[in-house]
Structure 1
Amino acid sequence: MSSLPPPEELRAARDGVIDDVAAPGLSVLFCGINPSLMSAVTGHHFARPGNRFWPVLHLSGFTPRQLRPAEQRELLTYGLGITNVVARATARADEVSAEEFREGGRLLAAKVARLRPTWLAVVGVTAYRTAFEEPKARIGPQERTIGGTRIWALPNPSGLNAHWTAQTMAEEYARLRQDSR
């Protein structure tokens, strides 16, 4: 039995959206690039097999155990949440245009201004660079703020990001965790 939905179900999920896991006053609002087709099918963030978000979140100390995507609402009990720069699901992040990223950045800034998390953690420095027109941004804390919310660019946990291991990603996420206390 395959853990993946049938291809026709994945194709039908294209351009679907999933709900944010968010509330006012979070410690960290994690922000993905955009949902995968698997996330759109399941309604769960970072649901694609091979995505390392959930293991890295645990390894970095944000959660006491590794949560499954279906347990995403538990993040709120830890003062954490999830949203995306671009709401619509695609098979690959490169299907999102630069203009769509910039518009997503504008919408994200409005959401952050409303929710007022301590940190906005964008998981993907390239997405951050494009969405906020900061072409020289690097992994780590950013100078830009949205109101009182500070921003941290984190490595993208996609399994396609082979430059970062789960352990080196967890070390960077742990730096944010230390600053978010």
Structure 2
Amino acid sequence: MTPEELEAARDRTIEDVVAGGLRVLFCGINPGLMSGATGHHFARPGNRFWPVLHASGFTPRQLKPSEQRELLTYGLGITNVAARTTARADELSQEELREGGRILREKVRHHAPRWLAVVGVTAYRVAFDDRTAKVGPQERTIGATRIWVLPNPSGLNAHWSAAAMAEEFGRLRAAASRDDDVTPDPGTGTGTGTGTGSS
């Protein structure tokens, strides 16, 4: 990919990987230039999303960005807070992130994933107007969808090692696996455990 090809991808949008009723809908901040050029989420070689997704147990092998549609077979998907492709996330305005958060909430209400996982606490704080949010599960919900804030897997995020990131992703995976062990009780509408909760 030449610098000219990457620059030509600026301000593009790429399609979500999404379906109704997913276990986890991962939400990036916005697509980078490599993603805009290829149409694949988290496509930059230094981005740790795909390795961490595998290391945390969400996928049985490390997928390539070009295999992103395979995520749907595992009940996973990808969207973004802001749709516009940029070289760096800090090129987005606060207004873009807030508007992206509004659109994201509508998208989540429509597709109803069990969990929305926002990768990037700073973007989450702006998009959801929650200045004190920290990485981890949030009290806020969108309908029945629960929210988990994950560290940004960008290679520029030096605050988190790949191992620490995989551990946090793994906490979400364990929570999503516990959901798999709960089925509705037809008599009461509440959940009944059907498994051990282990993953």
Bin of the TM-score, shorter chain as denominator length = over 0.9
Aligned pairs for 1:1-181 within 5 A: 5-181=1-177
Question: Structure 1, residues 84-110: CA drift from partner, whole Å, max 9, x if none?
Answer: 000010000000000100000000000
Question: Structure 1, residues 31-83: CA drift from partner, whole Å, max 9, x if none?
Answer: 00000000000000000010000000000000000000000000000000000
Secondary structure in 1 aligned to 2:79?
A: strand
Q: 1:163 offset after TM fit, Å?
A: 1.0
Secondary structure in 1 aligned to 2:123?
A: helix
Q: 1:144 offset after TM fit, Å?
A: 0.7
Secondary structure in 2 aligned to 1:107?
A: helix
State the 4+ residue runs in structure 1 displaced beyond 3 angstroms: none
Q: 1:126 offset after TM fit, Å?
A: 0.5
User: Which AA in structure 1 matches 2:57?
Assistant: G
Q: Report % sequence identity.
A: 74
Larger RCO of the pair (alpha carbons < 8 Å, separation 6+): 1
Question: Structure 1, residues 140-179: CA drift from partner, whole Å, max 9, x if none?
Answer: 0001100000000000000000111111000000000011
Coordinate RMSD, CA, aligned = 0.4
Secondary structure in 2 aligned to 1:83?
A: strand
Q: 1:6 offset after TM fit, Å?
A: 0.8
Bigger Rg over Cα: 2
For 1:104 and 1:74, the matched residues in 2 are separated by 25
